[in-house]
């Protein structure tokens, strides 16, 4: 199936209708369908055949902007089995893990399929995404969401119901994305599957998960120094000369950690900084200090 449909709206398309107050409604077009709202109704036939960016008027006189979903809009409105990875984090994963056209990508923890949609777009028709999900009910929701957005099954995507460590059968993988409660348990399996130079990217929610993930990557010996961060988004209100930040923002959703796979038999050089006093507890403080290069 294709990645996106272009041209005039057709039956089967998902259309996002936005009213003057920026309230958004998702409609799947049908030949005889009707969109009902307290501001009147709109026959789907008023949309079918019209180009994106059209304005339609309800029977009550309210105007609606009509566009196909952007992927970011779709992932926020899709049915959920598990919590979705927000677009701001999906964008960071695609960019900072350097997911490129033609890449061979493995993700563990498919959730509701939000990140999967972004990964499939990033790898393109020549790439491949393999997703591992322990829960069959989550896998079913993700399959429906991915196929709904892309218009059917994707040849580039393989979904495996099972544990990542036990079911992983991929080798020479370019990128591995871990979205799970305990990604540190999967670091060894990921190292064996990744090609030298490949990237591992872990998405975690809490600081304790973040700490254990980073320390496991450091101690494994097959990865470069992990890079950890989070992304915050703050919109701005702009009306003439009244320019100010919005009172609300998209704050913490999760932490991201990336590291690169070293060549076989090669270990990274020691970190060139001294750990903070007490960072590793009293028992390991001395050894941690000796292992660091001042």
Binding residues for S-adenosyl-L-methionine: 112-115, 133, 163, 179
End-to-end CA distance of the chain: 56
Report the distance separating Cα 88 and Cα 92, nearest Å.
Answer: 6
Residues of each annotated binding site = 112-115, 133, 163, 179
3-state SS track over 56-114:
EECCCCCEEEEEECCHHHHHHHCCCCCCCCCHHHHHHHHHHCCCCCCCEEEEECCCCCH
- What lies within 8 Å, CB to CB, of 30 at 6+ separation is 11, 44
Half-sphere exposure of 114 (CA within 13 A, CB side): 25
C-alpha distances in Å from residue 226, one per residue of 109, 215, 263? 21, 9, 16
Report the distance separating Cα 194 and Cα 197, nearest Å.
Answer: 8
C-alpha distances in Å from residue 38, one per residue of 22, 42, 150, 169? 15, 11, 31, 53
């Amino acid at each position: 199936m294709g990645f996106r449909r272009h041209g005039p709206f057709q039956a089967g398309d998902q259309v996002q209708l936005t009213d003057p107050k920026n309230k958004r409604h998702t409609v799947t077009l049908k030949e005889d369908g009707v969109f009902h709202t307290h501001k009147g109704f709109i026959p789907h036939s008023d949309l079918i055949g019209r180009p994106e960016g059209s304005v339609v008027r309800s029977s009550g006189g309210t105007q609606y902007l009509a566009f196909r979903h952007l992927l970011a809009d779709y992932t926020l409105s899709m049915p959920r089995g598990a919590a979705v990875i927000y677009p701001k984090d999906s964008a960071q994963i695609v960019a900072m893990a350097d997911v490129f056209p033609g890449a061979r990508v493995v993700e563990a923890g498919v959730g509701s399929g939000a990140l999967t949609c972004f990964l499939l777009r990033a790898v393109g028709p020549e790439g491949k995404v393999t997703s591992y999900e322990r829960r069959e009910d989550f896998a079913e929701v993700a399959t429906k969401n991915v196929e709904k957005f892309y218009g059917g099954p994707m040849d580039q995507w393989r979904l495996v119901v099972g544990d990542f460590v036990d079911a992983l059968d991929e080798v020479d993988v370019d990128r591995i994305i871990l979205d799970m409660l305990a990604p540190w348990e999967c670091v060894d399996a990921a190292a064996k599957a990744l090609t030298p130079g490949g990237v591992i990217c872990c998405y975690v929610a809490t600081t304790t998960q973040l700490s254990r993930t980073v320390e496991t990557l450091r101690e494994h010996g097959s990865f470069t120094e992990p890079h950890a961060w989070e992304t915050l988004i703050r919109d701005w209100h702009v009306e003439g000369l009244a320019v100010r930040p919005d009172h609300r923002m998209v704050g913490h959703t999760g932490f991201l950690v990336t590291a690169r796979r070293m060549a076989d038999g090669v270990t990274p050089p020691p970190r060139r900084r001294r750990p903070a006093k007490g960072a590793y507890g009293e028992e390991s403080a001395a050894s941690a200090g000796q292992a660091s290069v001042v």
